[in-house]
Structure 1
Amino acid sequence: MVPPSASTPANNPVSQTPSSGQVIQKETVGGTTYFYTDTTPAPLTGMVFPNYHIYPPTAPHVAYMQPKANAPSFFMADELRQELINRHLITMAQIDQADMPAVPTEVDSYHSLFPLEPLPPPNRIQKSSNFGYITSCYKAVNSKDDLPYCLRRIHGFRLVNTKCMVLVDMWKKIQHSNIVTLREVFTTKAFAEPSLVFAYDFHAGGETMMSRHFNDPNADAYFTKRKWGQHDGPLPRQHAGLLPESLIWAYIVQLSSALRTIHTAGLACRVMDPTKILITGKTRLRVNCVGVFDVLTFDNSQNNNPLALMAQYQQADLISLGKVVLALACNSLAGIQRENLQKAMELVTINYSSDLKNLILYLLTDQNRMRSVNDIMPMIGARFYTQLDAAQMRNDVIEEDLAKLDAGVPEKISLISRDEKSVLVVTYSDLKRCFENTFQELIAAANGQL
């Protein structure tokens, strides 16, 4: 008798324990042993399923969801269309090399550099007020993945000690929706002088909080000194230019969430400043230029412990967050100056809730103990759940639409071309069939069957 090979199935009935009374079949295929029973499982008592296939109706929490007032339901909103066009234009923009010969054609593995801000003149001596060095910013395409990135160049910086790369590696591991991710740091001489370059994710169309909210020179009128004999005017109200409190709380939730992630990783933000906070869309915040200070101000005497001063920097982050919130509440950077703090808090007391006032006071007041960003979470309170509820509601709608596509329901939807000149009314079933046919064509092409 010839024994079965490894690829030949072998059935060996094995008796189950007496309590079950079932016979388990044993089958070996390709060296793998499978166990199964011949008996059909007993049906569930009291439960009957239909003998046909049907898609259940939309869940009530989605079917009765109230759409926003004046929300476009057929055509794309003009504001959204313009925003998408601007993002595409910025992403695809290129420079005329003849007009900007100082911009190199290639830097390390990046090419197609495009300045995102006016370039400093060659003989400029004034340095950045934030970093203490002359800086410039470019959009560039990485030749390794053909994706656009943002390059922050530090002019004339020589990296002497590479111990700081430990901190850079820690920053590269942080992934957060409110933090611009740091991808790599490298030195180069492509700009005709030694330079240090930080490569970040590129968010097209983003603008700084400074340009969005603090660009009005008239906003500082309340804090400017008046001539002798003139009295202070009335405190400005929200209808006179102050930001709505709901927007300020939305910013607080995002910034505190970013700080919480950074501090949990053992790092410090150190760039909680309106000039380094990007706003994309209407209210989406992202903390930019993270990790720059950790490299520029690295202390060579702390080679053994580069994280020695992080606790001190984290305390400074909380104070910086308080200044940003106070500036937003006053709609003016003049409100965070020491001589204007009293008037700024009066403005907050009259126009906003006590919760916002207490949060600002807690962040700006020097405590006798080490504070944590988690301490302000109870102060945010229900405002966090407002942001979470809005996100969950969007997820419910998207999940429901994807479920309809997966099931191929006969419900009709409209497909509109980008120029809105062509409209096609189809069903989810039609879309599912198109996706399946396209996928099968891709499989056939990969297998060489086309």
Structure 2
Amino acid sequence: MAARGYQNNDLRRQVGSPKAKGRVDHKDTLCRNILIYGHCRYENTGCTFNHDQNKGSTNASNISNSNSTTANNAASEMSKKAFNVESPSFTPSNISKKPTFSSQALSAAPFTPRGNTSGSSTSTPIQHNGDHSSFVSNPAAVPEFTPQNYGLSSTATTTPTGQDATLNYDAFAMSAVGQALPTAPYNPYADDHNAAAVAAAAAMGAANPAFFQQNAFATHTQPLMHHLYFPAGPHKEDLTPYQRTSHDFFVSERLRQDLQKKSEAALQVINTGLPQLDNFHSLVALDTTNRKNANTFGYPSWVYKAVDGKTGFIRCLRRLEGFRLSNEHAIRSVKEWRRIDCGSVVSVFDAFTTRAFGDSSIVFVQEYFPLSKTLMELHFPNQAAAPGTRYKQQTLIPENTLWAYITQIATALKTIHAANLAARCVDLSKIICTDKNRIRLGACAILDVAQFEARRPVQDLQQEDLLQFGRVILSLASLTPPALLTNATAAMEHLGRNYSVELRDTVLWLLTPQQQQPKNIDEFVRGIATHFVTSFDQALHESDSLRSELSTSLESDRIARLLMKLAIVNERPDFNGDTEWSENGDRYTLKLFRDYVFHQVDANGHPIVDLGHMISCMNKLDAGTDERVCLTSRDEQTVFVVTYRTLREQLRSLFAEISRAAKGRGGL
């Protein structure tokens, strides 16, 4: 091989040829540089190794047939090198001793792949000539392994043998696994979810349609698609005073979502298997835990949502489990609570006994507030879920929020005490929060019935209401659940460090009994009159805000009525036997007005979506203004110039005509 010349500045690293040893002849050994780099720079400067690859491959067989002493010495020397090119190739000798097998293997059934669909069902036998060296592997003769019963709807019917007989399942049966496999994506807008599943199976080209028909789509108990509404964008600084955004014409996003969630919760019906009680049906349990708790009323209590079959209103039913009514006058005491009309008290409508739950129970019918939470669930969620666990809220409740709670509870107690009654349920687990900082006393009148035999003077019960009132505020201010409020002194110190002196003195007055004369709620209300003024001002602002939102909703209601009337009149295919009824006279004018409002296009024929134009036209139609509007047919051959007043009269007369026809046939 000709030598190659390289400059000294060649950056590639060259490995020097090993030094020749006197006792070993290296002239037939191929140089490592030839193997690694393809050339050797020391070929003409003293490298004694062979640089001819053809010669090295020819002499390789001669090296393996050399005497044993020379081969062993060469192997010991070359084993010290990083790359040993003279290592003899491994050639296994004939196995003279056959491996032995256990006696159980003789009775084992031959392995046959299950569900073999490709090729013949009989496998090609493997020939053994008595020597394992003669074993010839033929991959083409081995059938492809295919699991049996891969369809999800099929069940395993094979009978295992040997060790598999101890297994009570088939490893290839996918019926159990299929339940956990995800099906096609759930489409909340599809009317027929089962049809969607069949369509998905057809689109996927499934060999086994039962795979897609298992666990057909069930109605998801997920909230409504509130996120599909386009959210309100950032404030537009470049808008002129007369310009409006699309969100200005509708209810605010926050209020809309809040009302929709409450409406969904109120109308939600779950097939829970609960019985029908008297006139109430569609019962839904509202308790967040199935743990029985008899601490407050002496009986386990449960809360349900139900629909009144007489009025159609949704009510809240509170049931006392295992209660036996021994005196009819006890249940009549509920009538006194019907006279209580206070915004801070949950109204009580009725009470009745029932055995529909398999025991003797009494049910109280109260006003229902969807998505409401108790103060215990709101401020001590861990304690409400698992009583007895340690819970420490990190964030203090704002003092304004505490004063809002105090004024509302005081308002409720003043109304109740004025009716010569006692609340007896001023507890964090019985005070519900229906909106932000909006609370109400719930579960009133229950203890008057449950403890009717052990009646106590009303004055004593009213004093106990004030004491419970103070403990509720102290628990909230000290971030201590009522069950853990054992050291009132430490809790008062915590309250004094984080809140004003006025709040501390107010709570201290509620917790301290007076010796000379009993306390009353009127005296307490006079002491916190300034905070009642603040709460009243906040209520006025909230009322103004809701009134403004109501005016927007009222406009939307008027527009919806007009749209429904237009949809009834426009393009009615047949009326009184006249197939061209909607294309003549006043009906044709309203059809052109529909195109003018909703089907406008620009000069290039592109649709124009102008929400302000649509709402403005509908408002003018509702008001019946004298403004003229030019209506043009789609072929631009007919033009009408009419006023909105004329259009309104035409719409009214045509809708009245259709309504009379519907009444005559009993359709309206």
Q: Normalising TM by the smaller chain, what interval?
A: 0.5 to 0.7
Q: Which residue of 1 aligns with 2:532?
A: 384
Q: Which residue of 1 aligns with 2:319?
A: 153
The letter for the 2-side match of 1:319 is: L
CA contact (8 A) 2:249 2:552 kept: no
Could you tell me how far 1:401 is from its partner in structure 2? 9.0
CA contact (8 A) 1:276 1:289 kept: yes
Q: Which residue of 2 aligns with 1:232?
A: none
Could you tell me how far 1:137 is from its partner in structure 2? 1.1
Q: Which moved further from structure 2: 74-83 or 253-262? A: 74-83
Number of aligned residue pairs:
336
C-alpha distance 402-334 of structure 1, shift in aligned 2 (>3 A): closer
**Deviations 1:182-222 (CA, angstroms, capped at 9, x unpaired):** 010001111122110000011111011100011256xxxxx
Q: Which residue of 2 aligns with 1:35?
A: none
Could you tell me how far 1:170 is from its partner in structure 2? 0.6
Match of 1:109 among 276, 279, 282: 279
Instruction: Determine whether 1:175 maps to 2:350.
Output: no
Q: Which residue of 1 aligns with 2:632?
A: none
C-alpha distance 381-439 of structure 1, shift in aligned 2 (>3 A): farther
The letter for the 2-side match of 1:85 is: Q
Match of 1:350 among 494, 497, 500: 497
C-alpha distance 78-310 of structure 1, shift in aligned 2 (>3 A): same
C-alpha distance 341-73 of structure 1, shift in aligned 2 (>3 A): farther
C-alpha distance 342-80 of structure 1, shift in aligned 2 (>3 A): same
CA contact (8 A) 2:305 2:315 kept: yes
C-alpha distance 404-180 of structure 1, shift in aligned 2 (>3 A): closer
Pairs within 5 Å for 1:200-219? 200-216=366-382
Q: Secondary structure at the match of 2:357?
A: coil
Pairs within 5 Å for 1:40-119? 78-96=253-271, 100-101=272-273, 103-104=274-275, 106-117=276-287
CA contact (8 A) 2:472 2:482 kept: no
C-alpha distance 155-245 of structure 1, shift in aligned 2 (>3 A): same
Instruction: Determine whether 1:341 maps to 2:485.
Output: no
C-alpha distance 404-75 of structure 1, shift in aligned 2 (>3 A): closer
Q: Which residue of 2 aligns with 1:260?
A: 414
Instruction: Determine whether 1:311 maps to 2:459.
Output: yes
Q: Secondary structure at the match of 2:615?
A: strand
Instruction: Give unmatched runs, 5+ long, in structure 2.
Output: 1-246, 384-389, 561-609, 626-647
Q: Secondary structure at the match of 1:107?
A: coil
Q: Distance in 1 between matches of 2:652 and 2:315?
A: 31
The letter for the 2-side match of 1:344 is: A
Q: Which residue of 2 aligns with 1:320?
A: 468
**Deviations 1:332-372 (CA, angstroms, capped at 9, x unpaired):** 2269723x212211111111111101100000001112111
The letter for the 2-side match of 1:133 is: Y
C-alpha distance 119-344 of structure 1, shift in aligned 2 (>3 A): closer
Q: Distance in 2 between matches of 1:273 and 1:156?
A: 23
C-alpha distance 145-334 of structure 1, shift in aligned 2 (>3 A): closer
Match of 2:478 among 310, 327, 330: 330
Q: Which residue of 2 aligns with 1:241?
A: 395
Q: Which residue of 2 aligns with 1:188?
A: 354
The letter for the 2-side match of 1:282 is: K
CA contact (8 A) 2:372 2:435 kept: yes
Could you tell me how far 1:82 is from its partner in structure 2? 3.5
TM-score (norm 2): 0.45
Could you tell me how far 1:268 is from its partner in structure 2? 0.3
C-alpha distance 402-191 of structure 1, shift in aligned 2 (>3 A): closer
CA contact (8 A) 1:405 1:431 kept: no
**Deviations 1:147-186 (CA, angstroms, capped at 9, x unpaired):** 1101111112111101123421110111111111001000
C-alpha distance 171-445 of structure 1, shift in aligned 2 (>3 A): farther
C-alpha distance 428-78 of structure 1, shift in aligned 2 (>3 A): closer
The letter for the 1-side match of 2:269 is: Q
Higher radius of gyration, 1 or 2 = 2
Q: Distance in 1 between matches of 2:361 and 2:482?
A: 34
Percent of aligned pairs with the same amino acid: 31
The letter for the 1-side match of 2:615 is: V
Q: Distance in 1 between matches of 2:278 and 2:652?
A: 38
Q: Secondary structure at the match of 1:199?
A: strand
Q: Distance in 2 between matches of 1:404 and 1:196?
A: 44
CA contact (8 A) 2:251 2:549 kept: no
Could you tell me how far 1:94 is from its partner in structure 2? 1.5
Q: Distance in 1 between matches of 2:431 and 2:408?
A: 11
Match of 1:286 among 430, 440, 452: 440
Q: Distance in 1 between matches of 2:621 and 2:396?
A: 50
C-alpha distance 216-332 of structure 1, shift in aligned 2 (>3 A): farther
Q: Which residue of 1 aligns with 2:86?
A: none
Instruction: Give unmatched runs, 5+ long, in structure 1.
Output: 1-71, 218-223, 225-235, 303-307
Q: Distance in 1 between matches of 2:288 and 2:453?
A: 31
CA contact (8 A) 2:250 2:553 kept: no
Could you tell me how far 1:396 is from its partner in structure 2? 5.0
Could you tell me how far 1:380 is from its partner in structure 2? 1.5
When you count strand as a share of all residues, which structure comes out higher?
Answer: 1
CA contact (8 A) 1:335 1:344 kept: no
CA contact (8 A) 1:119 1:136 kept: no
Could you tell me how far 1:428 is from its partner in structure 2? 7.2
Structure 1 ranges of 4+ moved more than 3 A: 72-82, 118-121, 393-406, 421-434, 436-442
Q: Distance in 2 between matches of 1:258 and 1:395?
A: 20
Match of 1:163 among 313, 317, 329: 329
Q: Secondary structure at the match of 1:183?
A: strand
C-alpha distance 86-245 of structure 1, shift in aligned 2 (>3 A): same
**Deviations 1:255-292 (CA, angstroms, capped at 9, x unpaired):** 10000000001100000000000101211101111000
Could you tell me how far 1:107 is from its partner in structure 2? 0.6
Q: Secondary structure at the match of 1:200?
A: strand
**Deviations 1:77-112 (CA, angstroms, capped at 9, x unpaired):** 55434432321222112222xxx44x21x1101111
**Deviations 1:126-151 (CA, angstroms, capped at 9, x unpaired):** 54211111111111111101111011
CA RMSD, 1 decimal: 4.1
Q: Distance in 2 between matches of 1:367 and 1:107?
A: 47
CA contact (8 A) 1:180 1:288 kept: yes
Q: Which residue of 2 aligns with 1:299?
A: 453
The letter for the 1-side match of 2:490 is: K
Q: Secondary structure at the match of 1:285?
A: strand
Q: Secondary structure at the match of 2:531?
A: helix
Q: Secondary structure at the match of 2:514?
A: coil
Q: Distance in 2 between matches of 1:401 and 1:92?
A: 23
The letter for the 2-side match of 1:117 is: D
